[in-house]
Amino acid sequence: MKSGVISVTVAGAILCSMTALADDSPPYAPVVSQNTKFYVRDSAITTKVKIRLAAEHVTSLAQIHVDTDANRIVHLSGTAPSREAIDTAIRLARETENVLAVRCDITLN
């Protein structure tokens, strides 16, 4: 029981820190380079979409891969057993904060 509580606490801390990275940086935050800033933002968006897919508890969504480009466009790929599963993945990605567009290359298996 104790290790379960610790696992949930650690997972929550990681998810919260990744969510914080998706927010715009304050004006005083040092920027190493523009590419680094884009990479952190893109990774945070990808993580948010993956969290939403996992929270949906649809096992068919496990075969869907998520990537985000520098323009905040989410790319979905992989396979799904039904059109409904594909539509759910697209909807969840579109509803995720900071996503500008979704490109879907998911195929039916």
Residues 51-91: pLDDT tens digits? 998 888 766 677 899 999 989 999 999 998 889 989 999 99
Rounded CA gap, 56 and 91, in Å? 11
- For the chain, what are the domain ranges? 2-108
Closest CA to 16 of 43, 44, 55: 44
Count CB atoms within 10 A of the CB of residue 10: 10
Chosen CATH of 2-108 out of 1.20.1050, 1.20.58, 1.10.510, 1.10.287: 1.10.287
Q: Which range, of 19-33, 40-54, 90-104, averages the lowest pLDDT?
A: 19-33
Q: How far is CA 62 from CA 4, 43, 108, in A?
A: 23, 18, 14
List of residues 6+ apart from 18 with CB closer than 8 A: 43, 44, 47, 48
At 12 the pLDDT is 43
Contact between residue 76 and residue 63 where contact means Cβ atoms under 8 Å apart? no
Rounded CA gap, 74 and 46, in Å? 7
Task: Tell me the whole-structure pTM to 2 decimals.
Answer: 0.64
Q: Rounded mean pLDDT of 13-26?
A: 45
